[in-house]
Every structure is written in structure tokens, then in C-alpha cells.
Amino acid sequence: MDPVDSAEIPPIEALQSVFSLHETRRDGERILYYGESLVPEQMLVREVWPSFRQAGYEIQVATTPAGREDIIVARPVTNGTDGIPWKNLGLFFATVLSTMIVGALAWYHVPGSEILSNPATVLQAWPFTAAVLGVLTTHELGHYALSRYHGVDVSLPYLIPFIVPFGTLGAIIQMRGQIPDRKALFDIGVAGPLAGLAATIVVTAVGLSLPPMTVPESMVRGSGQVIIFNNPPLLNLIAAILGEQTSYPDPTTTAHPVIIGGWVGMFFTVLNLLPVGQLDGGHIIRAMLGEAQERLAAFVPIALFGLAAYLHYGLGYSFNESVGIWAFWGFLSIFIAYRGPADPIDDAPIGPARMAVGLLTFALGALCFLLVPIEMMTV
């Protein structure tokens, strides 16, 4: 790291009243300010962020390994992708492949031996892949678009390949910049669920209009038990409006796999709207209620463990059904809550219009909730 001429860096007068500056050094594109903070960290960021942001820099506060000095780390704001986003593209193509393979095996009932002898048979599952990834990607692009609108440095979506039952664990984006105010935090948080739900409704409607699939009778007879994905209220509502059915008395007949894209969108919406930490619901509630969000978040793990206990001890469901889902998310929500919510620079209230949109978003999320998302059935 090299010393920096004060003429080459953002105006340091913004630091004078809140930070005792000892030394300034450059580390690549980053500029590091060593010294002692004269105010709490959140107040320090709130005071100096506007000047640095206007000069084209994002800031973070850290301490030296020995804890003897505070460090303000300033780095240039990224206004777009820097070159070709190879990691994003690599994960995208890997997830396309994983969802297509899983779709072919689990939802289009293509025998594994047939896929091994002719890999092109996985292309039968492209509608399933398009439905699942379309919903998940639209959700993340909602966050991305509103982050860019508010000038927040954010990555392109990262899709996550996985195995059964969907071939993916979802998608994420990485927010690298500070959130300027609660309005921006709200807009970014709510954009994902609303965009994802719009795509979910379209995908569900398309899936319901497609003809049902026929399951080979040999697969039904030899399976013993099958996983049943129960319908969220929103899926039943869309089916009722369109006059389409979602289940069939013949066990060898199932709804078209594209509908699973809608189911995935609804289930992921419920999970993302949990009002804890830096999940979408945590962002929205933090923007709506301010710091009171943390008190609400403390009840989320309790509620999820309560759901798991009620399903197991009250209704007799096993752990490999929905009990395990809610128990897992109970533990995960503890970790998410421990990391804390996003803290915007300006903590002014968001106003009644956004409050109404927030309530509407949670109401739509409630239409996607199922006490028993999956269960096992003997055939």
C-alpha cells in the first residue's frame, strides 16, 4: 500500500468533526483512512457517506487487526458490470443444466439409462427449466433494477445449481453499497417479491393451460411412496379463475411440470418474506417499522419451531415431510437474525403509500403460505 496525496482523494474535510485522521493509504482502487472515530460507527457513516458518495466512493468502517485504530475504507462506486460476468454466466449455465436434468428425471419421468445413452433427451424438460428459472431470475432482477435506480452498488443475480426436487436452491444478488434511506431499502426489498409474484402468476396460468402429463404405470407401482406438493391458496385461486384443474383421480396422470415453476415461486416468496435479518421481509419490515424490526424478528424462529412441533406432535407428520422444512428454517432464521438487518443511512419514515404497498405485499405472501407444503403418500 502506498501513501496518498490529499489532492488525489475525496474531500477529507467531511471527516474533520467525526474522525481523527492519522494516515491515508491507497490499496489498489481503495483508499484507506486510518485514525480514531469520535462518534459511534453508524453516526460516522451517516455523517461522511453523502460527501464520499458525491465524489463517487462507497465507504465501510473497520478496525485494524489489533483493534488499535479505526479504518474508513473508500472504494469507487461500480456503475455497471466490469467486463464479462463470468461467474454469473457460469452459474447460470450450470443451473440450466441441473434443472434440466432434474426436470427430465423427476418431472418428465425420463429413465436415467435413456439420458445416459442419449443426453439430448434432457431437452424435453426445457419448459420446466424456463418456468423455474424464469420465476427466480425475475425476482432477483426486481431487486437489481431498484438497486440501480437508487444508486446502490449491486451484483447481477447468481443462480445456485442443486439436485432434487427442483435442480436449484434459488438465486441471490450481492449488495455491495450502502442503502441511502428507508425508502430505498423498502423499494429494493419489495421489488423482488412483487416482480417474482407477477412472473409466478404468468407461469402458473401457462402451466394450467397445458395438457396433463402421463406417468409410466411401472414407475407408480414401483415407487411405494410419492411426494405430494400441496397447492397454495394462490395457485387454487388462479386455477379457479381459469376453470382449470390441478389434480387428477388417476395416479398416472399429473399436472404439467410448468406448474411447478409457479409452486416454486410461491414457496420461495413465503420464505423470502420472513420478517427477519436481510431477507426481503426483513428489509421491508425494517423500512416500515425502523429499528423495531429486530424485536419482531426475534419471534420468527419461535414461530417456525412452533409450526414444526405442531405438525409433528399435533398432526402426526414425519420429519421428512413439512416438519423438516419449518425446523430447518427455524435454525436458519436464528443465523439470519444474528447477522442483523440492513441499516440505511437516513432513517426517516417511508410514508403511507409505501406502508400500504408493504401491507399488500405481505397479504399476497399470505396467499402463498401452506402449513403443509409437502407430504408423503403411499401408492
Residues 6+ apart with CB under 8 A from 151: 53, 77, 177, 180
Mean pLDDT of 223-237: 83
Fill in the amino acid letter for 312. H
Helix (H) or strand (E) holding 61: strand 57-63
Instruction: With cut-offs at 50, 70 and 90, classify the pLDDT of residue 311.
Output: very high
Q: What is the pLDDT of residue 213?
A: 82
pLDDT in tens, 20-59: 888 888 888 888 888 898 888 888 888 888 888 888 888 8
pLDDT digits (tens, 9 = 90+) for 91-103: 999 999 999 999 9
Residue ranges and CATH numbers for the domains of the chain are 2-76 (3.30.1360), 86-289+354-371 (no CATH)
Higher pLDDT, 49 or 236: 236
Rg (CA), the chain: 24
d(CA 369, CA 377): 21
Arithmetic mean of pLDDT over the chain = 88
pLDDT band per the 50, 70, 90 thresholds, residue 341: confident
Contact 169, 157 (CB under 8 A): no
Judge if the upstream peptide bond of residue 161 is cis by omega within 30 degrees of 0.
Answer: no
Question: Is the confidence at residue 81, as pLDDT, over 80?
Answer: no
Sheet strands (E) in the chain: 2-3, 19-27, 30-37, 57-63, 70-76, 158-161, 168-172, 213-214, 225-229, 253-254, 374-378
Split at pLDDT 50, 70, 90, the class of 288 is very high
pLDDT exceeds 90 at position 134: yes
Count the residues in the chain.
379
pLDDT of residue 59: 84
